[in-house]
Structure 1
Amino acid sequence: MKIAIGTDHAGFEYKEKIKAFLTAQGHEVKDFGTFSDAACDYPDFVFPAANAVASGDYDRGIVLGGSGNGEAIAANKIKGIRCTVCWNPLSAEMARRHNDSNVLSLGQRMIEESDVTGIVQTWLDTPFEGGRHQQRIVKLEA
């Protein structure tokens, strides 16, 4: 799978961990930055990652920050993006199963480091259910 990833300084540590995790599994990962923990603005890195997914160049995206909320807001400004903030495997499963989430937003200050790759793996592995949920996706896209 081709995955775009981007973060601000507050998610830098987890971004590096997730990038290594995904690469080890054979995924193609494009890192849109940031490339250090120096203070910066999340839209500068979230918009390019989300645009890469919206354009179809990447299958999915992962964005990070302190809480994940601002990053999700930014990503969802882009047509075709369904970015969900997830904090545990169940929230990640439901984001995919019911919402066909194509961008995952994670808050480094909200999630234990030991839990982050499990959340990512669940989100990657869970298919969209379709059915009654498809009509909602159509409404979001309209």
Structure 2
Amino acid sequence: MKIAIGSDHAGVRLKGGIIEFLQSLGHEVTDMGYNSTDSVDYPDYAIPVCDRVVSGEADKGILICGTGIGMSITANKMPGIRCALVHDTFSAKATREHNDTNVLAIGERVIGPGLAEDIIRIWLETEFSQGERHCNRIRKIAELEEKYTLHP
């Protein structure tokens, strides 16, 4: 699987370990930055990750900041992205099964590397259930996105 990953300054330490973890599982990882602890703006790193997912250059995206909140808010402003902020394994499984998320946001200041690896492994291994009720909900989200997306 092709995975795009990005972090701001508050997620850079966790990101390095996650990249190694993903590669050890056989995934192709594209690091979209950031690689310093000097303060930067998280949208500058969420956007390129999400662009790769929407374009199909990446199958999934992972975003890391201090809490994951800023990254998830940014990601969910982008048409075609369904990003979940996840800090537990139950939610990692549920958000794939029920919401067919294509981007995962986590917070370095909230969870440690072991839990992050468990969350990511579960999120990547879990398939969308494709049940009628879940597909109907995803369709409604897509319609809402279309309605409020500005078109030139």
1:74 corresponds in structure 2 to: 74
1:63 corresponds in structure 2 to: 63
The gaps in structure 1 that reach 5 residues or longer are none
SS in 1 for 2:35: coil
| Alignment partners' CA distance in 2, 1:139 and 1:51 | 22
CA drift at 1:113: 2.5
The gaps in structure 2 that reach 5 residues or longer are 144-152
Larger radius of gyration: 2
| Alignment partners' CA distance in 1, 2:116 and 2:67 | 13
SS in 2 for 1:106: strand
**TM-score normalised by length of structure 2:** 0.91
1:97 corresponds in structure 2 to: 97
What are the within-5 Å matches in structure 2 for residues 1-142 of structure 1?
1-131=1-131, 132-142=133-143
| Alignment partners' CA distance in 2, 1:114 and 1:56 | 29
- Consecutive aligned runs of 4 or more in structure 1 exceeding 3 Å deviation: none
Cα displacement string for residues 3-34 of structure 1 (whole angstroms, at most 9, x for unaligned residues): 00011010111111110101111111010000
Cα displacement string for residues 58-91 of structure 1 (whole angstroms, at most 9, x for unaligned residues): 1000001011011001011111100000001111
| Alignment partners' CA distance in 2, 1:72 and 1:84 | 7
Number of residue-to-residue matches in the alignment: 142
Give 1:4's aligned amino acid.
A
> Percent identity of the aligned residues?
46
| Alignment partners' CA distance in 1, 2:40 and 2:103 | 21
Give 2:137's aligned amino acid.
R
CA drift at 1:141: 1.1
CA RMSD of aligned residues (A): 0.7
| Alignment partners' CA distance in 2, 1:114 and 1:121 | 11
